[in-house]
Amino acid sequence: MILHLAMFTWKDDVTAADVAELTAQLESMAAGIPALRQYHCGENLRLRPSDADYAVAAMVDDEAGLAAYLDSDAHQAVYDRLLGRMIERRQAAQLDVGHAG
């Protein structure tokens, strides 16, 4: 299993409405991508210091599943509609979290 993590810092003009719309679009997108085993997204709770405003955690079986998610038309559509204009900075990482089960 691979855990894909993405953290975003927003541009200054991003509003709460933008973030709410993004969350709704990402959750809808995730529901339609079979390669995703788990998917979580949302605003940083800021329980510890961090520059990130928002994070996404996506669990897939393998590298092919990661490509199926990240290269999907649905993922690209959310980026084109909203996410791309919101991002000031992005960081991502993929972790091997072992086998399913």
Task: Look up the CATH number of the domain holding residue 10.
Answer: 3.30.70.100
Residue 100 belongs to some domain of the structure:
no
- Check residues 49 and 101 and name the one with the higher pLDDT: 49
Digit-coded pLDDT (tens) for 73-88: 999 999 999 999 999 9
pLDDT tens-digit map of 43-71:
999 999 999 999 999 999 999 999 999 99
Residue % of the chain over a pLDDT of 90: 96
Mean pLDDT across the chain, nearest whole number? Answer: 96
**Domain membership flag for residue 16:** yes
Collect contacts of 43-52 with beta carbons under 8 A, ≥24 apart: 43/19, 44/7, 50/7, 51/9, 51/89, 52/7, 52/8, 52/9, 52/91
Establish if 101 belongs to a structural domain. Answer: no
* Residue 78 lies inside a defined structural domain of this protein: yes
Of the pLDDT bands very low, low, confident and very high (cuts 50, 70, 90), residue 101 is low
Residue range(s) defining the domain that contains residue 30 = 2-49+63-92
At 37, the pLDDT band (50, 70, 90 cuts) reads: very high
Q: How confident is the model at residue 34, as a pLDDT?
A: 96
**Number of separate domains in the chain:** 1
Tell me the C-alpha distance between 78 and 71, whole Å. 12
pTM listed for this prediction? 0.92
